[in-house]
Amino acid sequence: MTERLSDVTTGTDTSPAGRDSVPRTDPRETSDPYADSRRTTEGTVYTVTGGDWDEVLADAAGDERIVMNLGPQHPSTHGVLRLVLELEGETVTQARSVIGYLHTGIEKNLEYRNWTQGVTFVTRMDYLAPLHNEAAYCLAVEKLLGVTVPERAQTIRVLLMELNRISSHLVALATGGMELGALTGMTAGFREREEVLHLLEFLTGLRMNHAFIRPGGLAQDLPVDAPQKIRDFIKVMDSRLPDYDKLLTGQPIWRNRLEGVGYLPVDACLALGITGPILRSAGLPWDLRKIEPYSGYENYRFDVPTANEADSFARYRLRVEEIHQSLKIVRQAVDRLEPGPVMVQDAKIAWPAQLTIGADGMGNSLEHVRKIMGQSMESLIHHFKLVTEGFQVPAGQVYVPIESPRGELGYHVVSDGGTRPMRVHVREPSFVNLQSMPAMCEGGMVADVIASVASIDPVMGGCDR
């Protein structure tokens, strides 16, 4: 019996069951500084601490400073963003952002799917701009392939991206209003966003996470009456957008709440790599649709709005004006829609499936399945291999940036010549722009942190990819 207790104390077990089990470690021998342990009847339990965040909190101990956690479960932190704020009274003396609460591992998952399947992953990163993620990813794959998508597919991509930009900016206005107490602005913003999502659902089949833009073109063509639906949507937006100027822009309480808050001049933007509306609110008209046009943007007439105030109110006004400019591009795109293919004609790249719905509401129609199977066995085999294995992409690496609603969204894609990506890394604007939060907030009031973060408009799905 004594021997038995000794064996337990030293972490070994001489019983038949114990020889096959995992050795148990004496808690006194644990040397991990971040994981204290204790023994329970169920085994060793580790308590993992916050690492250097514990040191940050300890720095303020004994002082008159207060360390406050804003988030990650807070309605004003855009999902799951944690802000560690050090306060002296109501003044923020130090601000740090903690991310990772929404980590999905999408970049790594792309390495285990073929090139076309990757679209269904990237569209879930920045879930407020799914079509921009799809377009940037596909442009990178197409650059490696050395193919150019048909003219109609390019026009439809521009059309969809600008509709997506409108919906994203509407969410920025709506959530910003909600966080600052302008609840009517929130309800109006989400009302207009529903109009965009209804239209996107009609055009692509889904409200969000569309996977509609594919390497080589599009999943399918637009419905026959799409131009009329889009023009009806433009009329609705033209009638409702002036209400935002009456409700918010000219409202003295709204102006006073945002003017001078979250100041970030152009030199600070350039030092931190900040792009999008934050950079343009500081006076620099940097827009990749103009600077490095892609998908035919050089053929569209639109302006790049800027401001010089470099504060939260300037970013609000900028987003409202960008909605007007996107509507101008959508009008031109509808007029440019010409009949033609929406996928490259290379049978080694283009999926032959016509994504029609069968009588059961699922999958391809029986007529199309009969057509594939009736052509030849080789045709059926090719279809099967193309869908399951995918196509090969020549070895190489590219970086393709586009202008998303939040700034420069860039895809660095590496291929080893196989049917799956070797590496996909995303230059995500929410991740980069979040660096500006301390510069905007430190020295200001704690209440202004909410307005500053709202003007950054971070989407944590893209930040924590």
pLDDT of amino acid 360: 53
Alpha-carbon span 175 to 183, nearest angstrom: 9
Residue pointed to by tokens 């050090």: 86
Do residues 300 and 327 touch, judged by C-beta distance below 8 A? no
Question: What is the rounded CA–CA span in Å between residue 131 and residue 112?
Answer: 22
**Helices assigned H by DSSP within 25-92:** 52-59
Query: What would the two tokens of residue 420 be?
Result: 């799956």
In terms of pTM, does the model score above 0.95? no
Please tell me what DSSP assigns to residue 343.
B
Query: In angstroms, how far apart are the furthest CA atoms of the chain?
Result: 90
Q: What is the pLDDT of residue 359?
A: 53
Q: φ and ψ at 46, to 5 degrees?
A: -105, 140
Give the chain's domains with CATH numbers: 2-48 (no CATH), 52-98 (no CATH), 110-349+391-427 (1.10.645.10)
Find the helix or strand (DSSP H, E) in which 277 lies.
Answer: helix 277-280
Nearest 10 degrees: CA dihedral of 124, 126, 132, 136? -80
Residues 128 and 276 sit within 8 Å (Cβ to Cβ): no
The residue assigned the tokens 């019996």 is 1
Strand partners, 343: 217
Contact partners, residue 266, CB within 8 Å, separation at least 6: 279, 282, 283, 284, 310
Distance CA(455)–CA(257), nearest Å, equals 12
pLDDT for res 48: 62
Per-residue pLDDT of the chain (465 residues; tens, 9 = 90+): 444 333 433 344 444 444 444 444 444 444 566 667 788 887 887 776 655 656 656 665 556 778 888 877 777 777 788 888 898 888 999 999 888 888 888 999 999 999 999 999 999 998 899 999 999 999 999 999 999 999 999 999 999 999 999 999 999 999 888 888 888 888 888 999 999 999 999 998 888 998 899 999 998 889 889 999 999 999 999 999 998 888 888 888 989 999 999 999 999 999 999 999 999 999 999 999 999 999 999 999 999 999 999 999 999 999 999 999 999 999 999 999 989 889 898 888 887 545 455 455 555 566 666 776 676 677 777 777 888 888 899 999 999 999 999 999 999 999 999 999 999 999 999 999 999 999 999 898 998 999 999 999 899 888 888
